[in-house]
Amino acid sequence: MFEEIYSPVQQIAFAPFNNLFVKRDDLIDPYISGNKWRKLKYILARVKFENKTHLVTFGGAFSNHLVATAAAASRSGLQSTAFVRGEAVKNEMLLLCSLFGMNLIFTDRESYRNKRQLFAQHFAHDEQAYFIDEGGASMEATIGCAEIIDELTAPYNHIFCAAGTGTTAAGLLRGIQQHGLNTKLHIVPVLKGAAFIQEEIAQFTPVSGHLNLHLDYHFGGYAKTTPELISFIKAFTSKTGLLLDPVYTAKMFYAIRDLAQQGVIGKDEKVLAIHTGGLMGLFGMKDKF
């Protein structure tokens, strides 16, 4: 199901930049969106290699990863189960998961912290079950995300990406290193107190001088927003025609503009922003708009 797909690069007008480009991974698939497609590509290959038939994963009630995994399982003829963090709820994302055939197990936050234990408790006797960590974090996912760099046909001074688990960041860094590029990689964590992401990246790829972490654009923490961020999203989309999600890509583009205004990035340097998709995250924040 994961045939070769190359997302386009689009130049956009976004002050104060003259050379801002966007890698449109959001266009890869409506449900297996953006970096989720890249993360699952080689995970599914591993599942097939090991002759597993049941994907078991983890996420919050508005997780794009859960929707992507459910869709990928359905298209591949596989069973899927998700441990959903928190109390039982109904929303658009979980509706899609259910329609794709995913079994949902709502899990209290304390139990959710030990994912391996949850997996063992429920699937110790299911030899067909395959553990997929939250967000798809794995070496297979890192290899898939490194292919973003393989697809580039032009050099860039800077590449930007938002980060939650750091898996996509590790893949991008891996790709930059493999190609011997001088590109600076800028990672914008969307969690508060996310300095640990450098350690997460180092689990999959040696950290090098290419990596720059920008820890001050979380807007209060994961899935948190402010009126300033919401106003930015509205203005950005109305001027560029690109949709952003408040959890990841909006914070990244805000950081790009702010760093340019500070002079960290020259307005004539070539900048590539990775649009990691996840636009269904807008459903969880419709009351903010």
Q: What is the DSSP string of 104-139?
A: EEEE-HHHHT-HHHHHHHHHTT-TTEEE--GGG-SH
* Per-position pLDDT tens, the chain of length 289: 566 778 999 999 988 888 999 999 999 999 998 999 999 999 999 999 999 999 999 999 999 999 999 999 999 999 999 999 999 999 999 999 999 999 999 999 999 999 999 999 999 999 999 999 999 999 999 999 999 999 999 999 999 999 999 999 999 999 999 999 999 999 999 999 999 999 999 999 999 999 999 999 999 999 899 999 999 999 999 999 999 999 999 999 999 999 999 999 998 899 999 999 989 888 888 888 8
Here the tokens at position 94 are 């979980």
Please tell me the distance from the alpha carbon of residue 143 to that of residue 209, in angstroms, as a whole number: 20
In this prediction the pTM is 0.94
Please tell me the distance from the alpha carbon of residue 155 to that of residue 149, in angstroms, as a whole number: 10
184-189 and 158-163 as β-strands: parallel, antiparallel, unpaired?
parallel
Count the residues in the chain. 289
Cβ atoms of residues 142 and 38 within 8 Å: no
Task: Please name each of the domains of the chain with its CATH number.
Answer: 9-31+139-288 (3.40.50.1100), 37-136 (3.40.50.1100)
Please tell me the distance from the alpha carbon of residue 40 to that of residue 137, in angstroms, as a whole number: 10
3-state SS assignment for residue 23? strand
